[in-house]
Amino acid sequence: MTIIMKGAAVATAMKGPLTAALDGLRRQGVVPTLAIIRVGARPDDLAYERNALKKLEGLGIKCRVAAYPEGISQPEFGGEFSAINADPTVHGILLFRPLPRQLDETELKLVINPLKDLDCMSPINSAKVFSGDATGFAPCTPEAVMETLNHYGIALSGKRVTVIGRSMVVGKPLAMLLVKENATVTICHTRTKNLAGICRQAEIVIAAAGKAKLITADFVSSDSIVVDVGINVDVAGNLCGDVDYEQVAPVVSSITPVPGGVGAVTAFVLAKHVVRAARYASEV
């Protein structure tokens, strides 16, 4: 029978250590604080923000939302961003991306304090992730995939893993985290030939393409472990992943659902990052 790898179970297991760490910081007089920076009001940003506020405030993390109008200029936004970045009471920053076209993300990437950069914007954190240095902050979503695989006892050493997607937010950093755990990783993208065949040869398939129902039954075997990172809306307007769940779930060994899979773990990884950032700040 297929194992459904639910994010809620992963999140529940993460809560205990997180609560203990937060209690420890509070005993030292530290109030772990996250700044969420949003430009405009994109529905996916607002959904992520609502979920993050509920989960993080529920754990006792202080969250401040700094929201700016869609049309804010680069000098004005740059000034606001720098002020939050320099604020010693803010331990970690989450900036929603992509930004509107008039704003220069590259400039902000170079400005953000790497010790507050919870979602791997800074090239310093990217370099740390790519060199296997665990002191860097990996982006929350790839780390949520790793937490999920770890929670469900899926050993990675020597495993053939195919990652579909090569973005700097998900695919590439995820491939590096997997390599660090000694997996043998294949990265696929839109120019990959015979995607279904490559996925069939893998023991673990991780889909992060952003294409509804891309992964069908001919991409998998009965031994496949499938992790679906995609968040899409299907033709009927329902939330769905990159995997055709109805077709694939019955024929594989394990699978994450959408919704209720990796997405349910991401906010707890963000909370872990706030704890680490608060510790870094108290050590300085």
Nearer to ligand NAP by Cβ, of 225 and 281: the residue is 225
* Least gap, CB of 113 to ligand NAP (angstroms): 23
Omega prior to 123 cis, within 30 of 0: no
Query: Between residue 265 and residue 284, which ones bind ligand NAP under the rule CB under 6 A?
Result: 266
Minimum CB–partner distance for residue 281 and ligand NAP (Å): 26
Interacting residue with ligand NAP among 188, 226, 255, 277 (CB under 6 A): 188
Residue window 83-122: x/- pattern of binding to ligand NAP, with contact defined by CB under 6 A: ----------------------------------------
Convert residues 133-152 into a mask of x (bound to ligand NAP by CB under 6 A) and - (unbound). Answer: --------x-----------
Give per-residue burial for 142-180: e unless 16+ CB within 10 Å, then b.
Answer: bbbbbbbbebbebebeebebbbbbbeebbbbbbbbbbeb
Contact 230, 242 (CB under 8 A): yes
Residue 203 or residue 228: which is nearer to ligand NAP going by CB? 228
Stretch that binds ligand NAP, among 11-19, 53-61, 128-136, 166-174 (CB under 6 A): 166-174
For ligand NAP, the binding residue among 102, 155, 189, 194 (CB under 6 A) is: 189
The answer to whether the beta carbons of residues 9 and 151 sit under 8 Å apart is yes
Decide: is 232 part of the binding site for ligand NAP (CB under 6 A): yes
C-alpha triplet 105, 110, 114: angle, nearest 5°: 115
Q: Which of 92, 114, 171, 173 binds ligand NAP (CB under 6 A)?
A: 171
Which tokens sit at 48? 């992520």
How many residues contact ligand NAP, by CB under 6 A? 26
Q: Which residue has the tokens 């707890």?
A: 268
Strands (E) across the chain are located at 3-4, 33-39, 62-68, 92-95, 160-164, 184-188, 204-207, 225-228, 232-233, 239-240, 254-255
| Host H or E run for residue 177 | helix 171-180
In the complex, the smallest distance separating the C-beta of residue 199 from ligand NAP, rounded to whole angstroms, is 10
